[in-house]
């Protein structure tokens, strides 16, 4: 039963489908902002299907095992994250203690998988991309975890169900600050512009993913699409009341609207800024964002 949940709903298949739809929203909004027409609705699905039937190339002299298991690690982690997250959303009272911590770890996994895969590729561009990804993880995890402390302090629980059922953090000053910081961290977690330096097309021609082809590349793309879906939902669950299923149609509709708003904010940010350098990104996350995150945590502790 759990295996089916993991594979179909609300795990892999569900997250992948909605994730690809979200990536269509991303591409369509981007296209409209850039005065283009944009892809048809099913284009992300076609892309994945096309990659699935392509040949898998493994560069000579690499560890095949490492190279091919890296995308699997990423996709497994994000499927598991989706499973845990949606069980919380569907039945908030029946979750386990510490699922917030588990989710934080699971959401780091795709980035780690990218690093593993890029170093396994043994390509100078990929290893440069990998080292940038590694620096980026170190940069954004600090403020990200600090702002996740805000709801934890407020509701005195590390159980997502309690956080979801309690007052949403966004109704306080500390919560708003925390959500803003978290959105920027999410942008980096999804490696969207301005934080897309690990794959920087014009510098590293795909960077970390440069040696991947066929199904492993499809898995990386799917992982990204699924992250595009699960991360905003996670932030909503923690800070903004999640997507409520038990309270009738209007709150559900509002929840979905909130989710789309978050995605559109990300897309707009990614279309109105150039890529920053990795040193600038680290300074940005460890400087201003960490200060705001600490401030938010202190405010939350003081009850604001």
Partner 1 sequence: MTKRTIIPIGPYHALQEEPEFFKLHVEGEKVVGLEIELGYNHRGIEKLSESKHYDQTIFLVERICGICSTSHPIACVQAIEDAGDIEVPERALYIRSLIGELERIHSHMLWLGLAGHFLGFNTIWMWAWRYREDVLDVFELITGNRNHYAMMKAGGVRRDIKSEDIPAIKKMIGNLVKPLTLFKNAVVDDPVIHARTKGVGTLTAQQIIDYAALGPTARASGVLIDVRRDHPHAAYGLVDWDVIVAQNGDVFDKAVVRILEMFESLKIIDQCLEKLKTVTGPIDSNPREIKPGEGVGHYEAPRGEVFHYIRSDGTNRPARHKVRAPSFMNIVTDREAVIGQTVSDATIILAAVDPCYCCTERMAAIDVNSGKKTFTSADMIRLSQAKTEQVKKQLGAPGPQIKLL
Which residue, 133, 83, 89, is CA-closest to 103?
83
Residue from 193, 228, 235, 289 touching partner 1 (CB under 8 A): that is 193
Structure tokens at 221: 């793309």
272 binds partner 1 (CB under 8 A): yes
Residue from 19, 196, 218, 243 touching partner 1 (CB under 8 A): that is 196
Query: How many helices, marked H, and strands, marked E, lie in the chain?
Result: 13, 0
**154 with 299: CB under 8 angstroms?**
no
**63 with 120: CB under 8 angstroms?**
yes
Q: How far is the CB of 178 from partner 1 (least distance, A)?
A: 23
Categorise residue 213: left if φ over 0, alpha if ψ from -120 to 50, beta otherwise.
beta
36 binds partner 1 (CB under 8 A): yes
Candidate segments 5-13, 43-51, 246-254, 266-274, binder of partner 1 by CB under 8 A: 266-274
Q: How far is the CB of 278 from partner 1 (least distance, A)?
A: 7
130 binds partner 1 (CB under 8 A): no
Decide whether 40 or 124 has the Cβ nearer to partner 1: 124
201 binds partner 1 (CB under 8 A): yes
Q: How far is the CB of 123 from partner 1 (least distance, A)?
A: 10
Q: How far is the CB of 210 from partner 1 (least distance, A)?
A: 10
Decide whether 18 or 126 has the Cβ nearer to partner 1: 126
Which residue, 221, 237, 226, is CA-closest to 160?
237
What distance in Å separates the CA atoms of residue 208 and residue 129, rounded to the nearest whole number? 5
Instruction: Give the Cα-Cα-Cα angle 188, 15, 80 (nearest 5 degrees).
Output: 80
264 binds partner 1 (CB under 8 A): no
**160 with 238: CB under 8 angstroms?**
yes
Query: SS in 3 state form for 101-170?
Result: HHHHHHHHHHHHHHHHHHHHHCCHHHHHHHHHHHHHHHHHHHHHHHHHHHHHHHHCCCCHHHHHHCCCHH
276 binds partner 1 (CB under 8 A): yes
Residue from 42, 280, 301, 304 touching partner 1 (CB under 8 A): that is 280
200 binds partner 1 (CB under 8 A): yes
Q: How far is the CB of 139 from partner 1 (least distance, A)?
A: 14
194 binds partner 1 (CB under 8 A): yes
Residue from 279, 287, 288, 298 touching partner 1 (CB under 8 A): that is 279
208 binds partner 1 (CB under 8 A): no
Token pair 């005195």 is at which residue? 156
Structure tokens at 287: 């400087």
Q: Which residues bind partner 1 (CB under 8 A)?
A: 30, 33-36, 124-125, 128, 131-132, 193-194, 196-197, 200-205, 271-280
């Amino acid at each position: 039963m759990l295996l089916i949940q993991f594979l179909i709903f609300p795990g892999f298949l569900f997250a992948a489908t909605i994730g690809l739809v979200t990536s269509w929203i991303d591409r369509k909004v981007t296209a409209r902002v850039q005065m283009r027409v944009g892809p048809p609705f099913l284009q992300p699905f076609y892309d994945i299907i096309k990659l699935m039937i392509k040949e898998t190339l493994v560069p000579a002299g690499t560890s095949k095992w490492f190279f091919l298991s890296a995308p699997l690690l990423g996709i497994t982690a994000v499927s598991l994250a989706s499973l845990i997250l949606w069980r919380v959303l569907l039945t908030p009272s029946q979750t386990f203690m510490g699922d917030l911590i588990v989710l934080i770890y699971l959401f780091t996994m795709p980035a780690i998988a990218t690093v593993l895969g890029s170093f396994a590729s043994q390509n100078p561009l990929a290893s440069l991309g990998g080292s940038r990804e590694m620096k980026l993880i170190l940069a954004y995890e600090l403020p990200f975890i600090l702002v996740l402390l805000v709801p934890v302090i407020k509701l005195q629980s590390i159980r997502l169900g309690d956080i979801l059922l309690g007052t949403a953090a966004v109704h306080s000053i500390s919560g708003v600050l925390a959500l803003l910081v978290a959105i920027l961290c999410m942008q980096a977690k999804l490696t969207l512009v301005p934080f897309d330096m690990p794959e920087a097309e014009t510098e590293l021609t795909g960077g970390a993913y440069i040696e991947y082809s066929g199904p492993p590349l499809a898995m990386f793309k799917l992982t990204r699409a699924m992250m595009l879906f699960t991360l905003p939902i996670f932030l909503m669950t923690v800070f903004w009341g999640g997507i409520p299923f038990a309270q009738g149609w209007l709150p559900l509709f509002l929840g979905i609207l909130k989710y789309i708003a978050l995605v559109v904010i990300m897309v707009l940010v990614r279309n109105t800024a150039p890529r920053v350098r990795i040193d600038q990104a680290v300074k940005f996350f460890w400087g201003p964002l960490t200060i705001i995150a600490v401030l938010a945590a202190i405010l939350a502790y003081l009850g604001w």
